């Protein structure tokens, strides 16, 4: 099968499995599995893929078809122009949260030397995006989940922000000392009773990150 044929059959399979944006998902997984950029696929459409290339792709396609989130299969997510490690230890960052960060960066916060606290940091996307964009900022990030904190620390190291952002475990503000110019929080807000009605992909996010009781 050529790369284009694989792309087309994967897209059709995802559409049948009611995966949103089937072609985009197929391109991401194919590029990831071949170690290419998505745009580079277009230069190889006529190339025949061999079994060694198809086997790992098949497994990714199977898992995606069963509702495993694309970001977990890729192992990364783009957020505010940066790449973050993404796995089941924390919530997959949502586009609306990028809007929150962009809104904050347009405010006065970028013009001061702010002390910032991110409550419920998850993968660290808010804290780390703010720290990267505001070099004078001192950023602290807390979460109740040790798993999320481990992922956030990993992201901080990967982005070279390990010395700029501190991470600690705290139940809301219980173990937090000091005062802050900005407290930002994207805490769980889905009622637990809504669990059974949520799309299957959302159930891959940690319950602690999703349900507000
Ligand atoms: C909706 S997720 C948001 C994660 C991240 N800030 C983002 O926007 O992608 C909520 C986060 O709050 C954390 N959390 C839940 N209850 C908490 C609590 N009582 N104290 C601190 N963090 C909590 C969860 O572990 C999770 O990482």
> 143 C-alpha vs ligand 1 centroid, how far in Å?
6
Q: Which of 40, 6, 45 is nearest to 23 (CA)?
A: 6
CA-120 nearest atom, ligand 1:
12
The CATH number linked to 182 is 3.40.50.150
Q: Which domain holds residue 95?
A: 89-210
- Tell me, using a 6 A CB cutoff, whether residue 190 lines ligand 1: no
- Tell me how far apart the alpha carbons of residues 191 and 174 are, in angstroms, rounded to a whole number: 23
Would residue 26 count as lying in a domain? yes
Torsion of CA 87, 90, 91, 97, to 10 degrees: -110
Split into its structural domains, the chain has a count of 2
Would residue 83 count as lying in a domain? no
pLDDT tens track, the chain, 213 positions: 999 999 999 999 999 999 999 999 999 999 999 999 999 999 999 999 999 999 999 999 999 999 999 999 999 999 999 999 999 999 999 999 999 999 999 987 767 789 999 999 999 999 999 999 999 999 999 999 999 999 999 999 999 999 999 999 999 999 999 999 999 999 999 999 998 899 989 999 999 999 998
Would residue 80 count as lying in a domain? no
Same domain flag for 38 and 119? no
Same domain flag for 62 and 94? no
Query: Please, are residues 121 and 143 in contact by the beta-carbon 8 Å criterion?
Result: yes
Both tokens assigned to 206:
């940690």
């Amino acid at each position: 099968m050529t790369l284009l044929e694989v792309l087309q059959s994967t897209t059709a399979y995802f559409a049948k499995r009611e995966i949103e944006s089937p072609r985009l998902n197929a391109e991401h997984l194919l590029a990831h599995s071949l170690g290419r950029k998505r745009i580079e696929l277009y230069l190889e459409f006529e190339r025949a893929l061999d079994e060694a290339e198809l086997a790992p792709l098949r497994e990714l396609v199977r898992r995606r078809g069963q509702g495993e989130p694309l970001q977990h299969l890729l192992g990364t997510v783009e957020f505010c122009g940066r790449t973050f490690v993404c796995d089941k230890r924390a919530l997959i960052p949502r586009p609306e949260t990028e809007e929150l960060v962009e809104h904050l960066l347009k405010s006065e916060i970028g013009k001061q030397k702010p002390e910032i606290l991110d409550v419920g940091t998850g993968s660290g996307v808010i804290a780390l995006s703010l720290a990267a964009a505001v070099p004078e900022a001192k950023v602290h990030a807390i979460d109740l989940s040790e798993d999320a904190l481990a992922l956030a620390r990993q992201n901080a190291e990967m982005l070279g922000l390990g010395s700029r952002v501190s991470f600690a475990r705290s139940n809301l503000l219980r173990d937090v000392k000091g005062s802050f110019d900005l407290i930002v929080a994207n805490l769980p807000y889905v009622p637990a009773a809504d669990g059974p009605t949520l799309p299957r992909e959302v159930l891959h996010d940690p319950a602690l990150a999703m349900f507000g009781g």
